[in-house]
Structure 1
Amino acid sequence: MKFNPFVRAILLLASLHSAASWAARQNTIEEEVADFYGELDMVSIATGTSKRIDKAPAVTTLITAEDIARSGASHLDEVLEMVPGLHVAPSTISRLDSVYSIRGLQTGFNPQVLVLLNGTEFKNSFSGGLPYTFRFPANIIERIEVIRGPGTAVYGADAYSGVINIVTKNLSSSANSAGARIGSFGSRDLWLQTGGNWQELALGFALEHQQSDGDTDRVVNADQQTVFDRIFGTKASRAPGALATRYDILNAHATVQYQGFTWEHWWWQQRDGGLGPGGAQALDPAGYQKFRDYRTKLSHVHQLNDNLSWTNDLSYLDARSETYFVLFPAGTRLPIGADGNANFTKPVGRVTFTEGYIGSPRSNHQDSRFNSILNYQGVNEHELRLEFGAFEQKLSPRELKNFGPGVIDGTVAQIDGQLTDVTGTDYIYVKPVSRTNVHLSVQDIWQIAADWALTYGVRYDHFSDFGSTVNPRLAVVWDTAHNLTTKLLYGSAFRAPSFNELFLQNNPSALGNPNLDPETIDTVELVFDYQINFDNHLVFNLYQYRAKDLIDKTAVPGTSSLQTANLYNLDGQGAEFEWNWRPAAHWRADFNFAYQDTTNRATDLQVANAPGQSASLRLYYDINSNWQVSGWAHWIADRQRAANDNRAPLPDYQLWNLSLNYRPDQSPWQVKTAIRNLLNKKAYEPSGTAISNDFLLEGRSLTLQISYNWQP
């Protein structure tokens, strides 16, 4: 295993600093313990109830609004790169959707990570992942809590490799703010956050618009159409050309609070988004993605007595997606089978598509949820949590295209750009489908002794389309010393197959399989959380997991088709290290390093594309009361190619970012500037083999932000 010199130096510095100061600290630590324990952060993601982060029975990371502001991050993906063992990469499937790779587990639509907004999921039920081209503004975020490892016992399906909970600001009590940001690639952002109290009501509202033309220097040298041009003698490919990375996003929040009730509304809309490399790995500057999420959620917390609280929430999500794929560009010539799809083994004829091979899948997803939670502390040394809930998901699809069954049959030599609506027929990409779930979970946090706590629980889920699962958890938290906590954790989790994986039809890329089983995982973790003194905090954890029945595509015997199946099992192990150091009043350094080794149990090959090693370093310096400067670097290394990918190995990369904040004394104005990829390094993330030179990441970018803040 090799380490970057940057990583080796930091690890050596941490160990030498710890060893040299151990003896000197022992006489003073007892006096400090009570003070610095009171300063530790609280998280609720590990158990559903508030716990000190060092005592939480999970491997947990907390990112605060201050961390986000100091980093200069403008959206969620930039923030999550701070988390040890979590890597944000573009999907190799299409659109450059963000994939959150945790401990080597990742697939194209990112279904193994459960992302929550204020404790409630908002996934796209068709893909199993986030809304297409999802980009969430950072200005509205109060904190992000992350579990690395399974969370199904509390959160249910898809809390498989990790859970990310985005907590938005309490707009009724935080300072009002308005601002603007401009920057490279034609980016321009505007936002407003305001709120206050009226009689017994607390009201809040936030609106943000983010827009960019995209980085036109992210050039693809050759794509899938380049291959077809060589085979069929055409000149249709748009390569060399830039990835389509434009975006136009609107994000709005509104809240009303009255006594124990909170009514939350959220509107997120991608008004126009580029499709990255294109839906079929052929450059598509004309295609677009539109997506709109609207969620309303009513919550009530009732303190029945000193020992018993009852929380209920009811939510409804309505999501609408419209994609316009020019899968292959104007002038492409393809062999077409009798079913109207591209077919290279049994073509009926070769067809020229004068305006492109075009598909426009659309959908309306509706998600209704109810959860009821009882927390009881009336039994000595026990904290009991009981949850009952249910949800229903419905998918209503629509599709227009100029190819495929019910549209063409390969006998006509030339097809124009007129699209046929196959909605309501057997020729659509997926028929209307729905699923229901009921679940029950029980958890007990038992304080066995003053320095021992045992958390144990189990969750039962029943799905209408594939049956039931039972997932337990067990965690022992030991206060080994006044400043050292040791944790031994076990958890199991599952991922429910998406509608895409179960029911996709009439699609040349793959067919669904209604007989799929859920993916499952069992994980064991050992954690050491060591608060050396006021200025030094170390966390080190080891983990091992076994993941079963992972879903992928495989060839259907005797045909040229692919179909989803439970194909392989993984064995994973690794380690993660965190060091938070405050060497002086105006300095702060946060460092983390992660190592993972995940292999396919059948082939003994390492998983493709996920970093085997990664590290992050953040340096904060307060020049004076008005000026703050922050530097941030992250290093990505040891990514393996897929077994069928013969391209040269992926090079490691290291990127630096810089942020400078200025706020005059007693002034409501604030100015920030941020430079990402400071050294303008060429860094690449893996693509499908059709994109010859992988995905080039954004080059150097500069943003300037001005905001005005006032008290409500």
Structure 2
Amino acid sequence: MKNTVASLAATVPTLLWITVSLAAPNAEEEDLALVYGDKNTVSIATGSPQPLQRAPSTATVITAEDIAAMGAKDLDEVLETVPGVHVERSYIEYTPMYQFRGIVGNPTNPQVLMLQNGISINTLFRGDRGQAWGGLPLDNIARIEVIRGPGSALYGADAYAGVINIITKTAKDIDGTKIGARGGSFATWNTWAQHGGKWGEVEVAAYVNVGATDGFKKTIIEDSQTSRDQFFGTHVSEAPGPVNTGYDSVDANLDLAYDKWRLRSGYKLRDNLGMGVGQTATLDPIGTETSERINADLSWNDAQFAKNWGLGFMASFLHYKEDANNYHMFPAGTRLGPFNYPDGMIGSPGRWERQIRISAFANYTGFTDHNLRIGWGHDDLNLYKTRTLKNFFLLPNGLPMPTGAVTDYGSIQPHILPHTRIDDYFYLQDEWSFAPDWTLTAGVRYDSYSDFGATVNPRLAMVWNVDLDLTAKFLWGRAFRAPSFNEQYGINPSGGGNPGLQPETMDTYEVDISWQARRDTEVNLSFFQYDLAQIISAVANPAPAPGLAFQNTGKQYGRGLELETTWDATSSLRLTGNYSFQTSIDETHNQDAGYMPHHHVYARSDWRFMQPWLASVQVNWVGDRKRAYGDARPPIRDYTTIDLTLRTDNSKKGWDFAASIRNLFDATVLEPSLAPGTSLPYDLPMPGRSFYLQATFSF
């Protein structure tokens, strides 16, 4: 670690000094701040747009211009730049896990709520974005707003460790037609088209993106089958062998706006999605998965409906399908107990979900110095169809017995049965400017669930404008994570459902300071502390029952700080960076909760060295990651990556080009496998050096 820190300490200043030195003679008159879009307002904190500096939450805004500057091609690359956030990976399909402030889940990631245009896209079975997520392209994203910390007082379930709101582009954001193509390492390619304009009185924005990748092929040295081979004297493991991370993709969005009405719809398909390592931490070069997401929402908003009143409502629909194609849970020739599997142990589960959400809100400003927001909603959440194809049958002792051909066991031994969950909720929020330069935001939300009961989540936020250039915030909030359908109703010896589960809960305390140190320099500092309770974990069933079951067990507390700064060094050079420190303790074992970096540094320089060219250098250092209790493997190794991007930024119609090198020095990057050490002893390798070229044409 000392060598890595020393290397980073030498690298970052050198890169910044070189960039400053080169930029000075060619400084442009143009104000660099105009290049990065609207980063000064945020809507996710209260439901209405307001200055970011005074928002009653610890929030980050990333604009489309930021995304282009950093050369990111997928959402995961963007979120890694947010203070307090680190993107880990599940061994299953290499699904990303967005870890906030040291709060780490199992191989799913239900502690983070993801919204698209303010509407949840979390799935029911796992509680996260879905196992077959397959990434998200960025070309149609106008901005990303992130809350670090609780958001349940406004957004309800799963707005727990953090909230991510993806805001798609409207006709005004696009203003014309654009076509683009990108290609690069791992046989990756994407083509897309966008249009924004008017059709009579209707504003129209349309987008479609088609692509594919073979994925990187980093080697897994040992997998879970390696140890079984040693125990049973077989030689069937695919390890050492490559991970399987390829997929085909289709993304499409349509946005129609007329007067106070807006209709949005979207489609997201991921096909032939590779299994990463595999469903059971055993290399699976054969199995794939398909996911399909169809969404639509209709909204109406009138900020001036009547004197002192603003009203709005929304109705949304989400259909999600996740269908496996012959998971090879264990390879051909596997032996388990007295049984042999000549064709391997095969499973093909499938699930179909439907989510219908209706909500309404009212803003009232008739009381002096108060801004009241009242909201109501009804969510109908339905896992309406399941399928369980496999070539084995689980015996009462939990041992799988081979049955020959793959058969539909949905009627006699399903992995889960259909279930419905209803949530009716009500929330109240008041922004009270009770004194000059002081605002108190108080809110509470009540949720009534049909399966696990009611929950109440309040929050308080005091914002003090100490001076024109200095703001202090004092924040407290309570949040909850609802049990996923798999945790409540799953039928699986490796983690059986428990209908009696209660939500996880969290209380968070924060102090934030925002300082405009100079006209060209901004500094933000956040301190936080949280306490988690009723954590849901899979624990051993009492004898003689086989397997594991989910229980509310364990507590965790954490604390840390996040420092971020932006410096417009010249009219053509911007330097940004952040540092995060956190420590999280598993109270059950009085030990580090594990896996998240205690220290995380990100830095980027953007240099407009001549019109219309922009060069960006970014450095990402992840350090000091411990293992969780019971994981005896050595600490996860630190790493430093450096990325370069060169692009044009024409303000007029015509061609734009971009070239990017990720992980310039081909650093070894490993993310912790949350499987036990005997399953994947050497963690999850991430891509080495890669190259991408992009061209777009606007007209």
What TM-score comes out, normalization by structure 1 length?
0.91
Give the Cα separation in 1 of the matches to 2:464 and 2:74.
37
The residue type equivalent to 1:332 in the other structure is: T
Pair 1:641 & 2:640 matched: no
Partner SS, residue 228 of structure 1 = helix
Of 477, 480, 497, the match for 1:512: 497
Deviations along 1:62-102, whole A, 9 cap, x unmatched?
Answer: 0000000011111110111110000001024x221110000
Q: Is the 8 A contact 2:397 2:546 kept in 1?
A: no
Name 2:608's counterpart in structure 1: 622
Q: CA deviation at 1:642?
A: 2.1
Q: CA deviation at 1:667?
A: 5.5
Query: Closer, same or farther in 2 for the Cα pair 1:407/1:556, shift >3 Å?
Result: closer
Query: Closer, same or farther in 2 for the Cα pair 1:125/1:633, shift >3 Å?
Result: same
Give the Cα separation in 1 of the matches to 2:669 and 2:483.
33
Deviations along 1:445-466, whole A, 9 cap, x unmatched?
Answer: 0011221000001100011000
Q: Is the 8 A contact 1:55 1:485 kept in 2?
A: yes
Query: Closer, same or farther in 2 for the Cα pair 1:664/1:201, shift >3 Å?
Result: closer
Q: Structure 2: any 5+ residue segments left out of the alignment? A: 15-33
Q: CA deviation at 1:389?
A: 0.3
Q: CA deviation at 1:124?
A: 1.2
The residue type equivalent to 1:354 in the other structure is: P
Give the Cα separation in 1 of the matches to 2:7 and 2:308.
51
The residue type equivalent to 2:49 in the other structure is: S
Pair 1:145 & 2:145 matched: yes
Name 2:197's counterpart in structure 1: 196
Pair 1:700 & 2:684 matched: no
Q: CA deviation at 1:173?
A: 5.1
Name 1:311's counterpart in structure 2: 312
Q: CA deviation at 1:648?
A: 2.0
Q: Is the 8 A contact 1:354 1:415 kept in 2?
A: no
Name 2:77's counterpart in structure 1: 78
Query: Closer, same or farther in 2 for the Cα pair 1:409/1:110, shift >3 Å?
Result: closer
The residue type equivalent to 1:652 in the other structure is: D
Of 367, 380, 384, the match for 2:372: 384
Q: Is the 8 A contact 2:535 2:553 kept in 1?
A: yes
Name 1:468's counterpart in structure 2: 454
Q: CA deviation at 1:534?
A: 1.6
The residue type equivalent to 2:206 in the other structure is: F
Deviations along 1:441-495, whole A, 9 cap, x unmatched?
Answer: 0000001122100000110001100000111100100011111000000000000
Of 510, 517, 535, the match for 1:532: 517
Q: Is the 8 A contact 1:407 1:420 kept in 2?
A: no
Q: CA deviation at 1:10?
A: 11
Q: CA deviation at 1:306?
A: 4.2
Deviations along 1:183-228, whole A, 9 cap, x unmatched?
Answer: 0000011111113211111112100123110112x10011111111
Give the Cα separation in 2 of the matches to 1:526 and 1:351.
59
Q: Is the 8 A contact 1:149 1:523 kept in 2?
A: yes
Give the Cα separation in 1 of the matches to 2:140 and 2:132.
19
Query: Closer, same or farther in 2 for the Cα pair 1:331/1:12, shift >3 Å?
Result: closer
Name 1:577's counterpart in structure 2: 563
Pair 1:393 & 2:381 matched: yes
Name 2:573's counterpart in structure 1: 587
Name 1:489's counterpart in structure 2: 475
Query: Closer, same or farther in 2 for the Cα pair 1:11/1:603, shift >3 Å?
Result: farther
Query: Closer, same or farther in 2 for the Cα pair 1:664/1:154, shift >3 Å?
Result: closer
Partner SS, residue 569 of structure 2 = coil
Name 1:110's counterpart in structure 2: 109
Give the Cα separation in 2 of the matches to 1:426 and 1:121.
33
Deviations along 1:662-704, whole A, 9 cap, x unmatched?
Answer: 3578560011001111110111111122112111110100000
Query: What number of residue pairs does the alignment pair up?
Result: 667
Give the Cα separation in 2 of the matches to 1:173 and 1:656.
31
Overall identity of the aligned pairs, in %? 37
Query: Closer, same or farther in 2 for the Cα pair 1:553/1:671, shift >3 Å?
Result: same
Give the Cα separation in 2 of the matches to 1:422 and 1:156.
36
Name 1:97's counterpart in structure 2: 95
Q: Is the 8 A contact 1:502 1:516 kept in 2?
A: yes
The residue type equivalent to 1:391 in the other structure is: D
Give the Cα separation in 1 of the matches to 2:509 and 2:548.
35
Partner SS, residue 154 of structure 2 = helix
Q: CA deviation at 1:40?
A: 6.3
Q: CA deviation at 1:234?
A: 1.6
Query: Closer, same or farther in 2 for the Cα pair 1:268/1:304, shift >3 Å?
Result: same
Name 2:185's counterpart in structure 1: 184
Give the Cα separation in 2 of the matches to 1:367 and 1:482.
45
Q: Which deviates more, 219-228 or 661-670?
A: 661-670
Q: Structure 1: any 5+ residue segments left out of the alignment? A: 14-34, 336-349
Q: CA deviation at 1:322?
A: 0.3
The residue type equivalent to 1:381 in the other structure is: D
Name 2:24's counterpart in structure 1: none
Pair 1:297 & 2:297 matched: yes
Deviations along 1:330-374, whole A, 9 cap, x unmatched?
Answer: 111112xxxxxxxxxxxxxx2221221011110110000001010
Query: Closer, same or farther in 2 for the Cα pair 1:630/1:12, shift >3 Å?
Result: closer
Name 2:216's counterpart in structure 1: 215
Name 1:563's counterpart in structure 2: 549
Query: Closer, same or farther in 2 for the Cα pair 1:665/1:497, shift >3 Å?
Result: closer
